[in-house]
Structure 1
Amino acid sequence: MTADRQATPDGAPPGARPPRRRRRGRVALLLLALGLLLLPALAAGALYVRLGGTPLALPGPIADRIEARLDAAMAANRVEIGTIEISRPEGTVELGLTLRDLRLSDPDGAPRAAFPALSVELSTAALLQGRVHPLRVDLAGAGLRLARDASGQIDLALIAGGAASELSLAETLARLDTMFASPAFAELEGVTGTGLQLVMEDAMTGQVMRVREARMRLERKDGVLSLSLGGALEGSRAATLDIALTRDAGTGTANLGFAFSGVAARDVATIGPALAWVDLMRAPISGFLGGALMEDGSVGDLRVSLDIGPGQLRVDGAETPLGFDRVAAALRYDATSGRITFDSLALSAPQLGFDATGHADASPDGSRYTAQFRLSDITLAPGELFPAPLSLDGGALDLRLTLAPRLEIEIGQAALFDDGLALSAHGRLWGTEAGLALSLDASLPEAGAAQVLAYWPEAAIPATRTWLARNLPAARLHGVDVAVRAAPGQAPEVALDLDFTEAELVALAALPPITGAAGYVSLVGPRLVLRLDEGQIAAPGGAAVALDGSTMTVANTRVPGPEAELDLVVAGELTDLLTLLQAPPVRLMQGSAMTPARIGTGAAEMHATIVTRLMRQEGMGDTRFEVAGTVRGFASDTLVPGRSLAAEALQVAVTPEAVRISGRASFDGVPVTGSWSRPLGPGAAPAARVEARTGLTRERLADLGLPLPAWLMSGQAEAALVLDLPDGAAPVLQVTSDLSGAALALPPLGWRLTQGQTGRLDAVIRLGPAPEVTRLALEAGGLTLEGRVSLRPGGGFDRLTADRFRLGRWLDVTGALIGRGGGRPPAVEVTGGTLDLRGAAPAGRGGGGAGAGVPITATLDRLQVTEGIALTALLAELTTDGGLSGQFRARVNGEAPITGTLVATEAGPAVRIRAEDGGAVLRSAGVFRSAYGGAMELVLRATGAEGTYDGTLSIDSPRLRDAPAMAELLNLISVVGLLEQLSEEGINLGTVDARFRITPTQLILQEGVAFGASLGVSMDGTYALATRQLDMAGVISPLNAVNSLFGAIFSPRREGLFGFAYRLTGPSDNPQVAVNPLSILTPGVFREIFRRPPPNLD
């Protein structure tokens, strides 16, 4: 290129002609001049065009010169530049500089900013004038650090890492403002940055946040310097942060503003005391924070708006976080006083919403707040807590919130107001090593039950709330106090106290509601107590029953179907009370024919204890109950069908096993003291029972269905009554008495029981339209009676059947008393048994007559007359008219038939007995076993001594045959013909007459005479009935027809003139015979010398 530019010495081209060369030389000279003039422009143009391509590095001197210019413009900072490149961005006319490795430092050399590359668009006009005036500055990939030190001062360093100079943010802004105010930056529109790395460090919390691909803009307009930074936070998908810093050059004040979106609550809580409380939330937060920047770099007063959520309120130790949709707050923070003023605070949660205003005084470190809020527009949405939407007028809250070292919320006072309702509360929630603890007390002066339940969260004490909602649907509540205590790892302890009036209370689901109720409810832990001071319950179809003073206790409300104990004090009509007990769970008399109306009426005052489970049960389930009390003015015509029962006062007791009514009453006019009872429950007998005691008189027995003759009973004896009342069957009455105080008599039998004596009476009476005594047992004074009595339709004695009638040792029979009506005594019918006359009482000895005569028809198996003499198969038709008398027939000792007549005497009964075969009678009686034939008549008369009778005997023409004793006697006196007769047809004894006495032990023969043609015999002596021993003596007179003619003259005993005296001793079937032969020589009266005197009956 140097050879091409070489010119000729004269300046013309080689080979040119001179003239022409001169002309051309002038032209060349002109062009040269023009070239010299256009060369800078061409060079500048070429450079301008060149700069539209790749940047051009400026030479060192030029770069140094530019650096010096910038350093001079930055009065408070020193500028150092690595290299400078110049370029013209495509599509622009302005030139730009790219400053690489630009560093700013304090005058003392401390770094303040470092930029890998800084692009500056310069003013072309200023450049043409020789000045460097930036129009726009752009940062790319630079690092910025916004830091807060431990004292709370904030600093902005335009350097990614390493140590920066310790300047406050206010000083940094002041320096930037001073720099921008210099003439060199007069045309600067602003500084922008993209792709920056913003690091925010908080020495107070140790937190570090980074903003990736941050953007920045710095500008100054109208004397106000503005710096904005923003970008997306690292570690979050949607969180963004925008920071605005301003400084007013006129006032020198600086302000700081943060706009954020989707930032974690914990990150926002680190800003300062005004926002530390949001650390309780786990939710994204959007909002704005603005405040004054103090000269020392700290933040002064703040203005904050927050939009939080959706998220949860989480407290360490709480099992379940509280979810919310949105929390919006607008607040102001006074840095001097530490007071946060909430201009608005709004919560929107799935089940709760409210607006609030108030203030909170924050501690300098933001760990404690003392706050007061006023709430409005409180809404409670339906859901888990409330079944229906609610809206409250407002409320107030005073609290102290402590965040460190452990969470603690102290509620000094909380109040809710709505439509006359005023709820106040205070309490404390605090954290422990094991978890959260709670102490809360709330009170409500007065409210309606429905209103309280509407505001009572369903999840708070759910079992109690459910019970009150179901069982106290309408009431006026007073003094409602609630206390909650909760400790980590333990079930919450809840206490609830409230009084209620004007209430409708449902104690048990199956019962009608209690109306007009007043009382209180107390819940301490799981134990619920309901006290009813006033209240009444209407029985179905009846009147109201008062329940004043009743209580209900549920020992454990936390278990499903808890057991409840009802302690009821009941006053009302007995029928109504029992009707209520018929309802579940008691189900009194279920499945029984017995009904409350059948029991009776009266004013009842009862105490009932019912233990049951509050759940649906089959039958009685686990229900247990006891009812006890008093019924006054009791009356019933149906408790005992057909009988009236009345009492001034009775005691009533009811258990699952039985219902029992006891006391003093009148039973069909009979005063009784006892009880009525009826078994209850599955398998119980379908019958009721009355057990009582009464004074037993003849009149009262008649009232009870046991009429007795007037002569039978007098006086009064205590008796026990047992009346069984089976369903569908006639009642059965049992009467038992020891008869003490009563006098009984059977005059016909000579029997009497005095009032001082005792015995036993047992009677079983089937009552009803046709009463009947199915069993009658009497044992007293030696008398035993077992039988039954039937009554006539409509009343009155019909028949007493005695299955056994025993009197002493002498009467043991069966038979009957048969009513004859008309006030007449009953007839007597003896159908069997035995009668021993040896012990019979004489008629009249009983001490009274029987009045009108009593007919007696007797069939006796045995009538014992004496020892060894009895009448069997006795049939008698007797009467007591004037004493026991009548006709009879029988057999002697079961053999010889006889007939007889019985008459009454003053000393006792007298009997006349006749027989066709007197010998057979004597043989059957064991008196004389060798007598045969002969018509006999025997008369026995009572002497008044027990078992003792005087008698006479006469037999016409009996024969003596096969008599060993007589044979021996005849043999001794050598009467051969008579012996032959004795062994053949027998000796005709002619007429036999005897006088004797029978005692219980012996027969005393005073005089016995047999007066026959061939033989005459006289006899006297004794015969032992038990041992059959004879001791007889007499005279036997042979040839009696002749002998007796002279004997009548000389013998006082109708003996012959001549006779043999004899004696019989020993057993009757083989006696010893002794004859005095000399007696034949002593006729008549002189024989008395040789014989003993006869027995003296006196």
Structure 2
Amino acid sequence: MTQIEPKNKVGVKDRFKLLLSRFAKSESDSHTPVSTNWIKRVFNRTKRIFAEVVSVVLTVSLILLSSLTFLMNRENVDLAFFKPHYEQWFSDAFDGRSTNIEKYSARWLEDRRAAEITAENINIIGEDEAQQTIDLVKGEFVFFDGFRERPSLQALTIDGGALTLLRTHEKVIKLGLGTPQTFEKVAPLWTSGADREKNTGGGKLLQSLKTITVKNATIFVIGEMNTVDWELTNIDGQFAFDGQFLSIESTGDISTPEENAPFNVSVRTSVDRSEFDGQLEIEKIKPLHVAPKSGPYTIIGNLDALVDLKASVSFVAGQVDDLEIHFAAGTGKLKTGKTFKPFDEAQINAAYNAESQNVQITKALIRSLALNLDAVGELTNIGNPRIGFGAAPVSYKIALGKSRLNPGIKFDGPFAIDSGEIQGQIDLKNKTFVFDQLDLDFGDFQTNMSAKLVAMDNPIFKSIIANGTIDGQMVPEDVLLFWPNKFALGARNWIERSIKSADLKNFEFVVAIDESDIRSGQVANDHLNLQFDVENADVQYMTRMPWLRDASGRGVLQGNRADFFLSTGNVDELIVEKGSVSIPRLSPKGGDFTIELNGEGAAAEMLRITNNPPFEFANRFEINPADIGGQGKVVLKVTRPLLEFFDQNRILYEIVGNFTNVSLPVGVGDFKLNNGQLELQADRNRISIKGPINVGKWPTNLDWAKPLGEDSGAANFTLRGNIGRDDLDSFGIGLRRHFGGTIGVRLSGAGDGVNVQKVRLFADLFDSELNVGTIWNKQMGEPGSLAGIVETSPDSGIEIDELVLKSQGLDLIGAISIGNDLKLESLDFSTAKIDGFIDAAIQAKPTSDGALSMFLTGNFLNVEPWVDQAFRTQTSAVTAPMRLTASIKELSLGESYQLANASAVFSHDGSVTQQARLKGDTENGALIAEISRDANSQNRSVHVEIPDAGRALLTLVSIDSIEGGNLVIDGNLPPVGANGGVTGTVTLTDFKLVRAPAFAQILSLASLTGLADTLGGSGLAFTKLESKFGLENGVLKVRDTHASGPALGLTIDGDVGISAKTMDMNGVLVPSYTANSLLGDIPLLGDIVVGKKGEGMFALNYSIKGPFASTQVTVNPLSALTPGFLRRIFDVKRDDIKDDTVKDLIEEQKQEN
């Protein structure tokens, strides 16, 4: 029965046009906001294309052909009447394109008042002769109100043919009959967007269509934007629409390079999408073969394994009523990074729980080399078909089991998770991922954090916000596990290479990374803050230095900067109190970083530790670290590139240290530097040491510096200090009698390391008192200075050159060489001037037997002090072995006794004089004094010749009672090494006795007043005086002394205490000696009448006793009448001079006389 469709009822065609226009509008109208996200659009477009476009367009052309066949087979129908309809249908379907139908037939279905028209082998010819063939088209047309009204197409069956669906780069959708190569030329049926007015008229005929059956069809789906190229073959399906609900039942194969993947689709949905029910099954499909080649969904292609998928979903009143998904993947490969890795299996099972209104993920299992995942969870607020799935944020909650992720070559991986709890929201519309809880248990450590990620249209994130903590304990390998291999490579390599072990804990982090951070690859320092504690760290802070061990502190990562603040640690025996590692730029690589360590320990240990490149201080300065004493605190700062291979000149370092009680194996002789309080500063260009330090016990202040480098030159130093008598005593220099106050000493110079080879000496004598006995002295406050160049050598000792000592009345210029034992090796003064003492050049050096050999050449030398000491104390001023050779133009023996053109030779063994010779000119002749030694007997003899004996005696022994005369002394000294005094004989000729108070008193007592007056006037003349003497222990013994002159003769015997200044003398006065002694020459009679030699017939005995200042003089007047032989009765008995040589000499003299 014919049915008339009400005019106010919306037809199928109009519904389809409405749906199609909505779809097109959503693509073309940029001013209308998209109500759903990309997931909803994919779902809706797929449904519309399949339900609204494919069936409609495939049938349009066949309707026309079927109608034509039907009309031609009706015997009672006027073909002319139907011909306009046929042409119109053809025109509407193909826009004027032609078609060839090989075979067609028709039959009438009376019960449905419908005609069934069948066409076979339909060949559609389009532009450029492009063709498309359809095997079979069968249409059922229902006629209403007779045949004059256009028939209504109710059902359509299609067998074979092809349809192409294309989405262009410009997001324009095109639909047409044919393959991708021909569809636009054969039968372009529909275009979205701006080109929709080009759509064919065939769609106008579809408003009455109820069902479409498709058999053995092929559908091509092409996407230019994401490079999709799908071919769906063997399509069998049925489309049905009853006015309110649209249903689709379809099976087919998805064509792949290996095997076709069968699928089954069942969909039933209301027109307003308030109700929806759908099922999908796909078997044995490899996502690798169907994934887009570009765009965000290329990730699907990372799985190269056969997948089975079963999914069903239903909505009622816009709410999810049922959802179930079963995903299973078999053995294959999974791509991570740029390579595929073995893949074992994957399973995902999810179902909707109506009671809790969420999706329960009952199983999410993945087993592969790249990823192992074991999880369950739930999704809530997943959306509805009206507004689209995921239009609102979807909440999730996931519980992870034991899982593992291998992130590929960008990380060291894999990441192994024991368990985890993750929950948050996914806002697909705004591309936002929120982690309210991200708790992952990695075994030794656990994360406790929240985060928010905002994505852009491409995979790059727009922002990342996170904060939280990491509990437990990490090690450096864990950190490197999560550190991208190519990010901040220098810092990463340094951690991997230099941190042997460490315990990392108490992580706290705040992240606020924005789009600029992500695009530049460098995070702003205030957009990332990660802090953590470090314990038990072993760090190789410099390649060839000892490791920093047991270090503790706190690390801070701020964006593109990293810092580590050390609180404790040690480098061997050096205690590290604090320190830091600062990396101001992590990326790009190659930037510098700085290591700073504050250490405390023994100076020897510090020197040993730094005796490694690049420092090598001990080797540079040739010091054994074990020889260094003291304690110190040091700050070491090293700056170097964050690279493994680089120019070593880029290493910069600074060392600042303070040391106490420092001792160094250098100094002056055996007196080393000690008790130092020194400050050290060093970098790659210079090292300096300064501060107070003692040389032996002498406190000084050291300032030492050395340039560093290949051509750095020698070290420069200054040693300053005030030296006093106690300091000199500590050096073993006994000058206390000659020195008072202090001398400001400055030693400066240069040398290799601490072994300084050359020193410039300067001493300010202003605040000192100096004297050279009675020879010279300087009072405090008077200017004076000592300067010179001191050069040291391990082999030759100390050389002092350019020595200049100047003060008032003092001028010394020369050089001194001192051995390592501080003993003199040589002395050479070109100028030695001391007012009133010397003006000469002096050379001196020790001999092989230990004596000091001296040479004096010059204008003047005053030896009066030594002469006075020799005659006053009978001791020598020389106490050390000495040999002297001198040539002096003027030699002063006393205030009024000088020798011109004097020469002297002197040899002393430290105890006695072995040899001496002095010769010089006086106004009255040459003076000769000589001590010689017999090489065989070791006996020593003395010979002295003195012209003008009066002046000599006055000068030498302060005897002023002799004028003129020539003195000759011959005597002997004890053999070398033997004790004893000087013995000998004295001969004095042609002299006068004057100003002799004691002798004048004798003459007065003897009533020889005339002679006494002569003595007090012009003096008594004597022709000759002879005596033998002995001088020992300060006592002069005079024996057998007799003197004779024209007016008086005398004899003398006695002792004189030179040191005690006493005398005990006695003798005989012989007036008129010449006449009185004539009988003495007669043998036998002379002895009886005259007595011994020097006496006369008439003579007086006398004696002198007592101190020099108060002597007692006595004269015996009776002795004048006593014969000579009886005069002996009054003589004093005295001991002989104990010297055989002298006795023999005396005897020889007697025989000569």
How far apart, in 1, do the equivalents of 2:296 and 2:355 lie? Answer: 19
- Larger proportion of helix: 2
Shift in Å, 1:691: 2.2
Structure 1 residues 235 and 297: alpha-carbon distance in aligned structure 2, compared to 1, 3 A threshold = farther
Shift in Å, 1:753: 0.8
Find 2:567's aligned residue among 533, 545, 550.
533
Find 1:889's aligned residue among 911, 920, 925.
920
| Matched ranges for 1:422-437 at <5 A | 422-432=446-456, 436-437=461-462
Instruction: Give aligned-pair identity as a percent.
Output: 15
Are the aligned partners of 1:677 and 1:690 in contact in 2 as well (CA < 8 Å)?
A: no
TM-score in terms of structure 2 length: 0.53
Matched, 1:719 2:745: yes
Matched, 1:362 2:382: yes
- CA offsets per residue over residues 822-868 of structure 1, 9 Å max, x none? 99xx999663333499xx999999xxx99976588642467999xxx
Structure 1 residues 620 and 758: alpha-carbon distance in aligned structure 2, compared to 1, 3 A threshold = farther
| Matched ranges for 1:1004-1023 at <5 A | none
- The residue number in structure 2 matching 1:477 is 504
Are the aligned partners of 1:425 and 1:440 in contact in 2 as well (CA < 8 Å)?
A: no
Shift in Å, 1:785: 0.6
Are the aligned partners of 1:193 and 1:215 in contact in 2 as well (CA < 8 Å)?
A: yes
Structure 1 residues 602 and 503: alpha-carbon distance in aligned structure 2, compared to 1, 3 A threshold = same
- The residue number in structure 1 matching 2:472 is 446
Are the aligned partners of 1:218 and 1:228 in contact in 2 as well (CA < 8 Å)?
A: yes
How far apart, in 2, do the equivalents of 1:648 and 1:589 lie? Answer: 18
- The residue number in structure 2 matching 1:931 is none
Matched, 1:630 2:658: yes
Q: Which has the higher contact order (CA 8 A, sep 6+)?
A: 2
| Matched ranges for 1:342-741 at <5 A | 342-347=361-366, 351-360=370-379, 361-363=381-383, 364-365=387-388, 366-367=390-391, 368-381=393-406, 383-385=408-410, 387=412, 389=414, 391-404=416-429, 407-432=431-456, 436-441=461-466, 443-449=469-475, 452-453=478-479, 455-459=481-485, 462-482=489-509, 485=513, 487=516, 488-493=518-523, 495-538=529-572, 544-558=573-587, 560=589, 562-590=591-619, 592-598=621-627, 600-613=628-641, 621-637=649-665, 642-647=670-675, 649-657=677-685, 659-675=687-703, 680-683=708-711, 691-697=719-725, 700-701=727-728, 703-704=730-731, 707=733, 711-722=737-748, 735-741=761-767
How far apart, in 2, do the equivalents of 1:386 and 1:333 lie? Answer: 37
- The residue number in structure 2 matching 1:1073 is none
Find 1:102's aligned residue among 120, 140, 150.
140
How far apart, in 1, do the equivalents of 2:836 and 2:551 lie? Answer: 75
Matched, 1:115 2:152: no
Structure 1 residues 718 and 347: alpha-carbon distance in aligned structure 2, compared to 1, 3 A threshold = same
Shift in Å, 1:373: 1.7
Shift in Å, 1:357: 2.1
Are the aligned partners of 2:107 and 2:117 in contact in 1 as well (CA < 8 Å)?
A: no
Find 1:330's aligned residue among 346, 349, 353.
349
How far apart, in 2, do the equivalents of 1:564 and 1:672 lie? Answer: 40
- Secondary structure, counterpart of 1:69 in structure 2: helix
How far apart, in 2, do the equivalents of 1:818 and 1:557 lie? Answer: 71
- The residue number in structure 1 matching 2:170 is none
Structure 1 residues 344 and 710: alpha-carbon distance in aligned structure 2, compared to 1, 3 A threshold = closer
| Matched ranges for 1:992-1031 at <5 A | none
How far apart, in 2, do the equivalents of 1:668 and 1:913 lie? Answer: 58
- The residue number in structure 1 matching 2:841 is 814
Q: Aligned AA for 1:470?
A: R
- CA offsets per residue over residues 113-155 of structure 1, 9 Å max, x none? 4436799xxxxxxxxxxxxxxxxxxxxx9xxxxx9x99xxxxx
How far apart, in 2, do the equivalents of 1:201 and 1:766 lie? Answer: 96
- CA offsets per residue over residues 427-450 of structure 1, 9 Å max, x none? 333345895334254631231315
- The residue number in structure 1 matching 2:814 is 787
How far apart, in 1, do the equivalents of 2:768 and 2:158 lie? Answer: 139
How far apart, in 2, do the equivalents of 1:294 and 1:382 lie? Answer: 39
- CA offsets per residue over residues 26-55 of structure 1, 9 Å max, x none? xxxxxxxxxxxxxxxxxxxxxxxxxxxxx9
Structure 1 residues 747 and 810: alpha-carbon distance in aligned structure 2, compared to 1, 3 A threshold = closer
- CA offsets per residue over residues 518-562 of structure 1, 9 Å max, x none? 101223234332211011121xxxxx2111211122333335554
TM-score in terms of structure 1 length: 0.55
Q: Aligned AA for 1:68?
A: E
- The residue number in structure 2 matching 1:801 is 828
- CA offsets per residue over residues 1037-1083 of structure 1, 9 Å max, x none? xxxxxxxxxxxxxxxxxxxxxxxxxxxxxxxxxxxxxxxxxxxxxxx
| Matched ranges for 1:279-318 at <5 A | 281=300, 287-291=308-312, 301-306=322-327
- The residue number in structure 1 matching 2:1099 is none
Judge which range, 725-734 or 344-353, deviates more: 725-734
How far apart, in 1, do the equivalents of 2:955 and 2:853 lie? Answer: 20
How far apart, in 2, do the equivalents of 1:716 and 1:821 lie? Answer: 37
Shift in Å, 1:67: 0.9
Are the aligned partners of 1:344 and 1:355 in contact in 2 as well (CA < 8 Å)?
A: yes
What stretches of structure 1 of length at least 5 have no aligned partner? 1-54, 72-78, 86-97, 120-140, 142-146, 151-158, 177-190, 220-224, 270-275, 315-319, 539-543, 880-884, 917-935, 938-1098
Judge which range, 735-744 or 655-664, deviates more: 655-664
Are the aligned partners of 1:696 and 1:717 in contact in 2 as well (CA < 8 Å)?
A: yes
Shift in Å, 1:245: 3.5
> How large is the RMSD of aligned CA atoms in angstroms?
6.4
- Secondary structure, counterpart of 2:520 in structure 1: coil
Shift in Å, 1:702: 6.0
How far apart, in 1, do the equivalents of 2:321 and 2:115 lie? Answer: 35
How far apart, in 1, do the equivalents of 2:902 and 2:453 lie? Answer: 109
Structure ID, larger Rg: 1
How far apart, in 2, do the equivalents of 1:386 and 1:667 lie? Answer: 62
Are the aligned partners of 2:324 and 2:352 in contact in 1 as well (CA < 8 Å)?
A: yes
Q: Aligned AA for 1:257?
A: Q
Are the aligned partners of 1:396 and 1:415 in contact in 2 as well (CA < 8 Å)?
A: yes
Are the aligned partners of 1:713 and 1:742 in contact in 2 as well (CA < 8 Å)?
A: yes
- The residue number in structure 1 matching 2:772 is 746
- Secondary structure, counterpart of 1:548 in structure 2: strand
Shift in Å, 1:580: 1.3
Structure 1 residues 551 and 384: alpha-carbon distance in aligned structure 2, compared to 1, 3 A threshold = same
Structure 1 residues 110 and 391: alpha-carbon distance in aligned structure 2, compared to 1, 3 A threshold = farther
Matched, 1:258 2:249: no
Q: Aligned AA for 2:278?
A: L
- Secondary structure, counterpart of 1:557 in structure 2: coil
How far apart, in 1, do the equivalents of 2:729 and 2:849 lie? Answer: 16
Q: Aligned AA for 2:280?
A: F
How far apart, in 1, do the equivalents of 2:254 and 2:204 lie? Answer: 21
Are the aligned partners of 1:886 and 1:902 in contact in 2 as well (CA < 8 Å)?
A: no
Structure 1 residues 428 and 532: alpha-carbon distance in aligned structure 2, compared to 1, 3 A threshold = same
For this pair of structures, how many residues does the alignment match?
752
How far apart, in 2, do the equivalents of 1:909 and 1:349 lie? Answer: 129
